[in-house]
Structures are given as structure tokens and as C-alpha cells.
Amino acid sequence: MSRKIVALALSVVMLFTMALALGEGKTVTGRGESGIGGKDSVVLDVSFDAQGKILEVKLVESKETPGIADAAFERLLPEIVASQSIKVDVVGGASMTSQAIIKAMEDAITQAGFDPANYQEKAEVVVEKAADEELSADVVVIGAGGAGMAAAVQAHQNGATVLVIEKMPKVGGNTILAGGALNAVDDRSEMAIRQNDSVEWHYTQTYEGGDKQGYPDLIHTLVSNVWDGVEWLKGMGMEFNAEPFTVLGGLWPRAWKPSMPVGTGFFKTYMDYVEANKGIEVRLNTKAEEFITDETGRVVGVKCTGETGNTVTAMAAKGVVCAMGGFSRNVELRQAYNIQWATLDASIPSTNHPGATGDAIKMLMKLGADLIQMGNLQLLPLGDPETGSLSGAIEHGVESRIFVNAEGKRFVNEGGRRDEMTHALFAQPGAFLWVIMDSDTYPTGDIKNNFNESIDSLIAAGRAFKGETLEELCAQIDVPVENLKAALEEYNKHCLSKEPDAFGRTLYGTPIDNGPFYAGKRVPTMHHTMGGVRINTKTQVLSELGQPIPGLYAAGEVTGGIHGTNRLGGNALADILVFGRIAGTEAAKGE
């Protein structure tokens, strides 16, 4: 079943009479609600004049994920009033909320006695071009995702004033859409001993898991500093769940999940810091275009285009941090660099936010920066069948589920590498899989996945399926029950013995034998670009001659040389935290 956002009518108080409809200066109010399967609703109050002009749109209630949904409300509600239209573009990273707003508007228009068909054409909105600006700070950070905000906060804590430039209408980047899992090992802890884990084992799995293409010095920097980063976040108020788990492709139970949903906890922490301290400014809807250098070749700022098309010049007295992300949303670039997959054309969706278009690549090439391992491109096997996003995934951790193909048969080590799982998935009939779980993970319908979605809401929307028995589940997903039963019987034996199975799986939880049973359909999706600009352990950007480009630092997915051919699940957020902090520290020195 395709995903739908179903508009539900609330009881509405209409503040008008027949005479009122003919009067001037009178208003009509409609209330509209929408949500996925009647859950996670958006409720709006909309005021109109007697002729149907939209006067005001107020948000009454939202159960959407805070931090992700905010940008949709902030942009679309005033845009609807300004354009007198509900035919508005969805906000990247908040597409579900955007669609819910549109459905709620249709409901409100109808409840007020008007026709939604009359609100499909946009009124022309003239935006006056603002004056050009020149801004300055000790440190300029380009990109307000996880790496950029870590750099900004750390630079400020090191005594620098900071200006953050972000092209999108909200902070967050890919990080705020992520499941939030963060690999980190504290060698001194009882937890690491109990999990038979260590910093060195994290290093070995990262190095070998990327086919030894990652630079050893960068990997050592990553694994040796990430626990300190976790403590840094905790010191600013961020909370994590008590026990680590194994994230998809993480290979070991060392992933720490924030207590807040998806990646919102990182940005609540960072933005709380920004709001509580002077000296950090975040400029949204401002797109970096070109690095500015002085006569010595030092990077001293960045030329940008502002929201109205004006020029914004951001000058840095000490350093510039490039944290502009990867290029998973740029089909042309990923096709050009692809050497690993049969195709990465537009038929392959992406988990990434719309701003992940590789804007930094041309800017860095113009400086003569060294771009490395650009063909190392990661796909995941767990994308939403319609959008490619990670939302809707029913799994909570590697140990609690299996994958089966359209025939109900297992086909891969579900605890293995991401590239191996995805290559195996492409070889299956229809190139899709079913995630199979039982009630051990979802004892009640209000239990949520890693993306703040309850299993009941996913089932109501047709994004997941539930059967009290395997027969009932298989009837819904059109899988031969005898095959699924055989797959589970064999798998459950290994849950008890803990011995590797025919696929080499070694990570097991409890047997999947306790109904009701659940299934979710998933497809391959473009996820991460491991190649990028070469940096050293100080995050200085290196030229093609291997020399630091003065004044320029980089962190996050824009960099290369850390993950090799295959990034371990949970290492991306570790990467942006560790190298974001280092970039902020080094840029604040002004050396």
C-alpha cells in the first residue's frame, strides 16, 4: 500500500452566519487536521475574509517530531498566506509534515465553506532584494549540520566569535534525519569489558571494514576521541540511552542512541548553547559560493548568496571551516564518480536531505584542494520504497530481526557490512526485502522505531504489516509461509547456539517466535559519500601537493580518507563529532 497522509475532519466551529458572509471585515474560521493514519496529527486554525482570502494560519497542535517538523511550519504557514495557495513545495527533510500541513489546509478550507480547488494557483509574491552585506567573525563555519555545529560550539568555547552560514532554511543537515546512533568506546568502562570491546577493536573493524583504504592516522583520531565527544555532549545536557546496541552495518554493539528521537538531540544541545551564549550567529538561507583568499593564498572568508539574491560576504579573522556535507542528492556527480554500483541514476533514491548536493566540490577544486576516494559511495538496503528515506524502518537493532526476499528466504548476513548487504539485495527478485520481527521488539502498538514513529501508525499507513500468526503475516505480504517458517526455524536455532550460520552471521538476540509478527518492506538507497577533500589530523585541508591550505579546515561528509570503501554504521555521527570539534579548535587558533 502506498504511503498516504489522510485528512481527518474535526468538529469545527464556524464563526459566521449568512449575513456575515456578505459583510465587510468579517472573518470565517476553519479548523483542519491531518496525520498518518489519524496519528501524529497536525491541527491548524485558518481565518478567511468573506470572499475566501486567507488571512492567517495558526498552528494549534502538532505531534510531529520537534526539530524536524519546525522548518515546515516556519516556512509554509506564512508562504500559504502570502501566496494564497496550498500548492506549495514541501520542505526538504520535513516532507511528511509538509504534506500534513497541506492536507490540514484542505480540510480547513472545506470546513470554512470554500473550495480547495480555488487555492491551487499562487499569487505572485514580489521579494525585494536586500542590500548586500559584509559580516565578520573570528571563525566562519559553512554548514549547520552535525559537523558544522560541533565546530561552531567548540570554536566558541575556545574563545572565538563564530558565524555559521547555512543554505537550507533550518539547521540539521543529514544529522537531524539520522537514527542518532553514535559509535563510541570507553576503554575504562565496565560496559566495554562486558561487550568485549575496545578502542583498538573499533579501529580494526573500521580499518578492515573499509578494505584498509581509510588513513590509519585519521581512523586512530576518530576512535580515540569519540568517547570524549560523548562526554562533551553530556556536559551540555544531551542524554543517551543506558545501553549500546548494534546499528545496521555497525558490526559490534557500540552504538549509543540519544534519548531524543532521530538526530534532534544534537541540535537541541547545540542551539540551546547558541541561544544561551553571545558570540555565535547562525545565518540560514545563505548559500556559500566561493572561498575568499588574500594575496598570500590564505582563505579569509566566503562569498555567499543571501535569501533574496543579495551578496553576503562573510570574513573570518582566524579561520574558515568547510562542513558542507556530501553529494548523495546530486545524481550527476554520483554517476560521474561511481565505480562500484551498476547505476546510481535517478532510479536510486537517497536517505539524504535535499541540500546534500556537493556544492563544496567545485569550490575546493578551485583552490587546488586534494579530492580523494570519490568513488567510495555507500548504499543501504533499508530505504523507504517510495522516498528512499530511513523513516518507516521497523528495526531497532541488528540482533532483533532478519531479512527475507520476496520468496520468504534469507539471503545475506544481516549483521554484516552495508555494501555486502546491498549488493546481495540487488540480486534478489524485485530488489526489495522484508524486515521480519516479533513482539519482543514491539510488545505494544505505541512502541516507536528509531525515527519516532509508532508501529501502530506505520501499520495504519500501510508502511508496515502485522500478523498474529506467521500465516496471517505472510498472507498480507504475499510471501510463501512455508519458506518464512523454514527461515525462522533455522535462524532461531542459531539464536540459541550462538554459532555462526550459513551466511556467517554471529550477532543474535532472542528467537523470532513470539507473535504477533511484523514486516516492513525496504529497498536499496543512496546514503553516504565516503570520498571528499583530504585533511590531516588537525582537519587542515590539504592541497594536491599535500600541503595545508592556510586558513581552511574541513569536517564531516565533505572529507575523505576516513571510512574507506565502506563506512561502518554508527561511524558517521562519530566522525562529525570528533572532526567537527577538532576543526573548531584549530580554526579558533588562527594559525
Residues marked as catalytic: 418
SS3 39: strand
Helices 216-235 and 199-209 meet at what angle, rounded to 10?
A: 130
Q: Residue 120 burial (CB < 10 Å; 0-12/13-18/19+)?
A: exposed
Pair type for strands 532-533 and 280-283: unpaired
Measured distance CA(289)–CA(287) in Å, rounded: 6
Buried b / exposed e over 258-279, threshold 16 CB at 10 Å, is bebbbbbbbbbbbbebbeeeee
How far CA 370 is from CA of 540, 544, 549, in Å, comes to 11, 4, 10
Shortest CA distance to 202 belongs to which of 570, 579, 583, 581? 570
Q: Cell triple for residue 354?
A: 535535499
Dihedral Cα 207, 213, 214, 216, nearest 10 deg: 70
Region of 172 on the Ramachandran plot (φ > 0 left; ψ -120 to 50 alpha; else beta): left
Task: Quickly count: other Cβ atoms within 10 Å of residue 439's Cβ.
Answer: 18
Alpha-helix residue ranges (DSSP H) falling in 112-189: 146-157
Nearest 5 degrees, angle CA 496-CA 498-CA 499? 120
- Name the residue with cell 500465516: 471
